[in-house]
């Protein structure tokens, strides 16, 4: 069996990096959803600024998603 060539190695590394970027988008979106939930359901206490945290994570996720889509022609569609 022949070892993988440089093109195969590069393609595998590129795919792995892209998968990690999409995982980061998902993690940011999950954090935004959790922070929004906490902000909505902790009205009787004085919570940390969950609204700002949610918006920050949502903005980062959207920015990262946009950059991935621009950089990769096979990027998945926007979930909205």
- Segment 2-26 mean pLDDT: 92
Tokens of 73: 């022609």
Q: Does the model's pTM come out above 0.85?
A: no
What pLDDT does residue 72 have? 83
d(CA 65, CA 79): 10
What pLDDT does residue 6 have? 86
Give the model confidence (pLDDT) of 44-59 as tens digits.
775 678 989 999 999 9
What pLDDT does residue 1 have? 75
């Amino acid at each position: 069996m022949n070892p993988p060539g440089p093109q195969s190695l590069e393609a595998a590394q590129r795919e792995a990096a892209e998968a990690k970027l999409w995982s980061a988008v998902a993690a940011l979106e999950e954090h935004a959803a959790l922070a929004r939930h906490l902000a909505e359901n902790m009205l009787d206490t004085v919570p940390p600024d969950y609204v700002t945290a949610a918006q920050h994570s949502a903005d980062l996720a959207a920015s990262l998603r946009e950059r991935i889509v621009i950089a990769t022609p096979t990027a998945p569609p926007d979930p909205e």
